[in-house]
Amino acid sequence: MMKESIFSVKDKIILITGGSNGNGAEITKGFLEEGSIVIVLDKKEIKSKKYFSNPNFHFYKVDISNRKILKSIISKIISKFKTIDVLINNAGISLKSNKNNYLEVWRKTLEVNLHSPFFLISLVQNNMKPGSSIINITSLGAYQGFKENPSYTASKSGLSSLTKSLAFDLSNKGIRVNNIVPGYIKTNMTKKSFISKIENKKRKERMILKRWGESKDLVGPCIFLASSASSYMTGSDIIVDGGWLSKGI
């Protein structure tokens, strides 16, 4: 018999937030194709009917910033599945702010991008076995400042540091915690700059690979961190940015 691959995620129970569209939907698809049991938490339902025909796909409609409802749903999930092998905190928002709403945007962005992942981890950690993995999806904004978006960069920087702290705190449970750091990926969040010839070119010139990323580029790194292939990694970053951060003059 052929030895099972160290990258195998077959039958692993994957809980992912924001899995209904964009990067999250592609990650969901990737794990389903590898035989994982995928539980999606999102306030929007997945449009593609292909997901619903897969017996390993489970969907719970919820706004993850609503702690009371989230706690109730996680209780139902734990009751049904007993354990979570991998938690992927993918859900995130980036909102425009102005002088009239900047504080509201700040609070809402941190609630979704930082507070909710922390709360969700606190809910599931006791039902994660040794060898389990938590993957936080951060951003280039965790490393660099971007104009007119302080709440987003602050939230992603906070999530990045939270990963390192929790890697330490959860090590006694045998739970690993790592970051995936996407660069410019073609999604609804980046649509405006992608369709602008000037903004698109400006960003592409910052990348060594000279192309925008696609959501499928995140699937491999997620599977790697979810599998035993990354068993000696915790508190680390996997940067998926086409060489943005590494490029010099």
Catalytic one among 60, 152, 184, 232?
Answer: 152
| Active-site annotation holds for 152 | yes
DSSP conformation letters of the chain: -PPPPTT--TT-EEEEESTTSHHHHHHHHHHHHTT-EEEEEESS----HHHHT-TTEEEEE--TT-HHHHHHHHHHHHHHHS--SEEEE---------TTTHHHHHHHHHIIIIIHHHHHHHHHGGG--TT-EEEEE--GGGTS--TT-HHHHHHHHHHHHHHHHHHHHTGGGT-EEEEEEE-SB-SGGGHHHHH-HHHHHHHHTT-TT-S-B-GGGGHHHHHHHHSGGGTT--S-EEEESTTTTT---
Active site residues per annotation = 152
